[in-house]
Structures are given as structure tokens and as C-alpha cells.
Amino acid sequence: MGIILAIQGAVSQGILWGIMALGIYLTYRILDVADLTVDGSFALGGCICAALVTAGVDPWLSLAAAVLAGMLAGYTTGILHTRCEIPAILAGILTQIGLYSINLRIMGRSNTPLLKLPTVFKQLIELTGLGQSWVSMIVGMLFVAALIALLYWFFGTEIGSAIRATGDNERMARSLGMNTNRNKVLGLAISNGLVALSGALVTQSQGYADVKQGTGAIVIGLASIIIGEVIFGKKTSFGTKLLSVVVGSVIYRIIVAVVLQLGLNTDDLKLLTAILVAAALTVPVLLEKRRRSAAYDPMTDGSSGKGGN
Amino acid sequence: MLKISHVSKTFNPGTVTEKQALRDLNLHLEPEDFVTIIGGNGAGKSTMLNMIAGVYPIDCGTIYLDGVNISRQPEYRRASLLGRVFQDPMMGTAAGMQIEENMALAHRRGRRRGLKWGVTKQEKEIFHEELKRLGLGLEERMTAKVGLLSGGQRQALTLLMATLQKPKLLLLDEHTAALDPRTAKKVLSLTEEMVTEARLTALMVTHNMKDALRLGNRLIMMHDGQIIYDVRGEEKKKLKVEDLLKKFEDASGGEFANDRMMLSD
Ligand SMILES: Nc1ncnc2c1ncn2[C@@H]1O[C@H](COP(=O)(O)OP(=O)(O)O)[C@@H](O)[C@H]1O
Ligand SMILES: [Mg+2]
């Protein structure tokens, strides 16, 4: 019985964290930037949300505030990267570190419980009479469906296409009149808005916010993306890709639930995730090397028959 | 049309790799000039085109295009006036996007991009017709990812994209150099066709002297960051490969034309 409950909880957590993975997908796969802001902006979403709910603000409104704060965090990284020409990874780390202090300031302490305070989940539990993890799951799925639809639409528009082109071939994008710097800032802002929304939803669903709740979020997001790609393949439509990221996030949580049930220490979880991601990123490289060395033939010359120069 | 006055460019100033790529360059193009550019390796041909396009800032001088001072405009802004095809066939297109998506990006060159749909139905019809001109069958593969195309196909597509929205000036930087001879010939004849048909003003860098002589109404030779020879009209028509070689030898102080200056086709 314990395992069933654990898996049900894992699925609902996976869906809510899947929104963060969607955000990471935008930067990592579409914009081709490794953005380390996320650890900070995930916690930022949670902290803003907790502080506002504690101050008596409507929990729905505090979700919106979390999104705006996350976008501002992404914007900051974007400006550091494009205007100040700081390498993207470092720009993200700077924002992330800065956010740690900001998040502490926002909450005034490192942990804020929401015990007797309203959350969107509690409101819906009262309204529907369903259990906590069912409500989490349903709310999460509604958010995910709406966000995937929104992202699908957005990346089909002129601005969205320009962001995709910027990530695909920056020089080409500029030569066709796209302001690639602005596109990167916009992409980072949208991404971190999603990440912060996810942080806020997770906070409301688990009933507390913690300044450390974002630690390792980037790796969890990458794990979700990679698991999704393993299952759905890389050559799918854009909509399927977005969905696969969330499915990847759910599967990641199920794996975690299972290994914890099997007796893994919670403290070792981050190590396990890091090893999982490192392995998943290494395997394709090794396969490619093997393929190449298998194709190596000392008896043929390498020319493809193309002359011209 | 294009007016370059006293433009210089030094790369990595103040370091051991300091290199003056352009020296007090001056060039004045008339509308509908189709200029071929030749010159040895490192003469500054690509740098000149990059300066016009705004890839790097110029050190001094001014560049006017169609009456607009573009000397200090960022690259993405000048793009509204320029069509560009690069030497590297991978450079001009986004591999992970569809053929029609790439064309739609080019179709919006110099226009405001908003929340309207990225590729419209009407555009798809235009693109279908335009792709037919290439004679490569790409009109039947409009939703294929560009990464699946060959270098020659990608270069032909880039050329089409550069002219989809009529540019004030078309910049071609050895755009057939990386292609096999047959594809190169095809892309070159497409270039000729498009430039003549749309009456474009164009700068075309080539390392093939015969092409440089055969195409265009004007030819310039660059050496060591300067234009050392500039012929047009009837005078250009009379020019022969030997004359160019002679010029080149004179300029480079007896050093014979290197292997990049091709004589054959
Ligand atoms: N981005 C750059 N950084 C440093 N040096 C450069 C750069 N681009 C070109 N150069 C140098 O400027 C000179 C002219 O180069 P280029 O314009 O590419 O010549 P061409 O196209 O005529 O062969 C060369 O010596 C080249 O090494
Ligand atoms: Mg060159």
C-alpha cells in the first residue's frame, strides 16, 4: 500500500516539477544556453509565494507574482549575458547566488510553513472533496495542458520563431534582422517565469517554502528532459517534445520514489541524479565513438569525391 | 547606392596578432552595379563585406547605403537593407527548422516581428512557387528540416532567402567555393539569374577569375586591405585572365597568383 501512495505522490510532484523542466527545456534545447539561474528562480517562486500568502495575499495572485519575479530573474541573467558579455553559465550562477540572499530577505528566514494558510490546493480540496494528491495531480495537469498549449502557440509566432532561430543559428538570425540579444533575454525570462511558477506550485502543494528548495533543480530538469527524449525519441513534433519533458519529470519522480522505498538514503538522492544525468549524456557520445571506430577503415582514403577547390 | 569612405579596420590592435585588414578603403557603387571581387587570401575581401553588414564595428570612416548612414548601426538593423550568402553553406540557414520556416524568417527580414503566426498560408504558396525556380524539388519538401539538405541545396536556399525580400545590396562571399563543381555552377547561374531579373545591386567575392570576368558589369581587385584595381563596362568586357594575373603580380611584387586564384572552372 505504501508504494502505491508513494507513487501517486510522485506522479503529482512530477507534474508540478515538470513545469520547471519545461522552462529548462526552453533554454537548454531551444535557446541552446545552459542556464543555471533556475536553482535560484525555483526557490524564488516558492519564497515569494510563501511570503505573499503569509501576508494574506490570494494564493492564485501570489502564483502570478512568482511568475513575474522569475521572469525578472531570467531577465537579469539575460542582461548579464548579452549586455555585459558574461558567459551564460557564469551569468546564471551570479543571478542564482544573488537570489539566495534575496530569497532569505523576502521570507525573513530560511523556512516558511503554510500550515493554516490557504493554498490553491486546499481551496480545491474543500471545493471538490478529493484527496491532496488527486487535487495536486489535477491542478498540475491543468497547468501543464494550458502551458504546453501556450508554448506551442508562442513558438509558432513570429517572435517565437525568431527565438528558435536564435538558438539554432545565431549568425543567420542576425543576418536576417533578428535582435538575437533581445531574443535571448526574452527566452531566459520566459523560462525562469515557468521555473518560478513551478516553485510556487510545489511550495503550495507541500505546504512550506525553503530557501534551499531549488538546490539541484537544474539537474533534475535535465534528467527529466533526457528521460523524455529516451522514451519519445528526439525526432518528434514540438508539442510531443514539450509533453515528453513533463512525462520525463513524472518518471524521474517515480524512479526516486521507488529507490527511496528500496531503502536509499534521501541524502544520496542528488548524487544518484547527478550520476543518472552524467551517464545519460555520456552514453550517446560513447555510442558515436564506437560507431566511428567501427567504421574506420585504414585502406580507403577519406575523400568524398568532392573537389572544387 | 553604396558609398564607403575612408574605412579602416585593424583586428586585435596592440597585440602580437594585430592585423590591419582594411586600409582607408573607398568604394562607390551605382544602383544595379553587379561587382565581382577578386584578390589573394587575406586581402580583406570578407572583411569588407563584414564591415558593410556590420559583423564587426569599423575603426573609422563612413558607410552609406541607399542614403542611410549605416556606419554604426548594429548588424540586425542593417539586415533590413542587405541580403547575404556566406561561404559556409551551413551558415545561412537554421538546420533544426523547416524549409518553409527558414523562408518565413527571411521573408520578415527588416520587418517588425510580432505575435502573428510565423508562417502564413499565403506565404507557403509564395514559397512553393519560389522554390520551383531552384529546380531542386524542394517545393515538395517544404516541411522538411533544412539539416537534411545537402550543402548545395542549402546554399541555393540561402540565395533564394536572401532575395525573397528585395535587398538594397546583395553580399555574396565566395558562396560557391565550398560546393562541388557542378553544384557551384548551378548556384552561380541561379545567382546571375536572380541578380539580373530583380535588377539587384550586388557584391560577389569569388576566387575564380573566369567567373569574375564573365559575370557582372564591374570588377575590383583587392590587395592588402585596399582596392588596387577597379574596372567597369566596356573596359571590363575586354579584360582577360592574363591581364588580371599581370595586375595581381604587379601588386603583390612578383609573387605569382596563389592556388586560391583559380584559372580553370
Ligand atoms: N575576426 C578576425 N579576427 C582577427 N583577424 C581577422 C579576422 N577576420 C579577418 N582577419 C584577418 O584580416 C585579414 C583579411 O581577412 P579576410 O577579409 O578574411 O581576407 P579574404 O576574405 O580576402 O581572404 C586576414 O589577415 C585575416 O587573418
Ligand atoms: Mg574571405
**Residue-level pLDDT at A234:** 83
Residues in B 33-62 with any Cβ partner in A closer than 8 A: 53
Give the residue-averaged pLDDT of A8-16: 95
Tell me the three state secondary structure of residue B176: coil
pLDDT, tens digit, 9 for 90 and up, residues A210-260: 999 999 999 999 999 999 998 998 889 999 999 999 999 999 999 999 999
pTM, whole model, 2 decimals? Answer: 0.93
Cell triple for residue B254?
612578383
Largest pairwise CA distance in chain B: 60
> Residue B100 in contact with residue B162, Cβ under 8 Å?
no
pLDDT, tens digit, 9 for 90 and up, residues B217-233: 999 999 999 999 999 99
Among the partner residues B110, B118, B177, nearest to A157 by beta-carbon distance? B118
- Structurally, chain B folds into a number of domains equal to 1
Which of A195, A200, A185, A183 has the alpha carbon at shortest distance from A70? A195
> Residue A281 in contact with residue A226, Cβ under 8 Å?
yes
Question: What's the rounded Cα separation, in Å, for the pair B82 and B68?
Answer: 13
Give the count of beta carbons closer than 10 Å to the beta carbon of residue A134: 15
Higher pLDDT, A147 or A1: A147
Query: Does position A171 have pLDDT exceeding 80, yes or no?
Result: yes
Query: E strands along A118-200, which residues?
Result: none
DSSP state of B169: E
The answer, yes or no, to whether ipTM is higher than 0.90 is yes
Q: CA-nearest residue of chain B to A175?
A: B79
Whether B40 is in a domain gets the answer yes
Question: What's the rounded Cα separation, in Å, for the pair B205 and B225?
Answer: 14
Cell triple for residue A53?
500568502
**Residue-level pLDDT at A301:** 57
Give the class (CATH, top level) of A2-294. mainly alpha
Whether B255 is in a domain gets the answer yes
Among the partner residues B93, B113, B181, nearest to A162 by beta-carbon distance? B113
- CATH number of the domain enclosing B8: 3.40.50.300
Residues in CB range of A281: below 8 A, 6 or more apart = A226
- For chain A, what percentages of helix, strand and coil (3-state, to nearest 5) are there? 75, 0, 20
Which residue lies with its CA nearest to atom 20 of ligand 1?
A: B42
Q: Where are the domains of chain A?
A: 2-294
Please give all residues whose beta carbon lies within 6 A of any atom in ligand 1, as ranges.
B 11-12, 19, 21, 39, 41-47
Three-state secondary structure of B129-189: HHHHHHCCCHHHCCCCEHHHCCHHHHHHHHHHHHHHCCCCEEEEECCCCCCCHHHHHHHHH
Q: Which DSSP string do the residues of A238-286 spell out, in sequence order?
A: HHHHHHHHHHHHHHHHHHHHHHHHTT--GGGHHHHHHHHHHHHHHHHHH
Structural domain boundaries enclosing B173? 2-14+23-81+167-262
Q: Determine contact: B184 vs chain A, CB below 8 A.
A: yes
Tell me the three state secondary structure of residue B7: strand
Whether B138 is in a domain gets the answer no
Q: How many residues are recorded in chain A?
A: 309
Cell triple for residue A210?
525553503
pLDDT, tens digit, 9 for 90 and up, residues B126-147: 999 999 999 999 999 999 999 9
Ligand 1 atom nearest residue B44's Cα: 17
Whether B155 is in a domain gets the answer no
- A208 phi and psi, to 5 degrees? -160, 160
Q: What angle do CA B91, B53, B112 make, to 5 degrees?
A: 85
* Residue B110 buriedness (CB in 10 A; 0-12 / 13-18 / 19+): middle
Which residue lies with its CA nearest to atom 24 of ligand 1?
A: B42
Which residue lies with its CA nearest to atom 6 of ligand 1?
A: B11
Which of A120, A309, A165, A245 has the alpha carbon at shortest distance from B176? A309
Give the count of beta carbons closer than 10 Å to the beta carbon of residue A174: 25
- pLDDT less than 70: residues of chain B: 253-265
Give the count of beta carbons closer than 10 Å to the beta carbon of residue A125: 16
Q: What angle do CA A251, A256, A260 make, to 5 degrees?
A: 150
Whether B113 is in a domain gets the answer no
Among the partner residues B96, B119, B180, nearest to A308 by beta-carbon distance? B180
Higher pLDDT, A304 or A83: A83
Q: Measured between CA atoms, how close is B234 to chain A, in angstroms? A: 30
Which of B93, B68, B89 has the alpha carbon at shortest distance from B78? B68
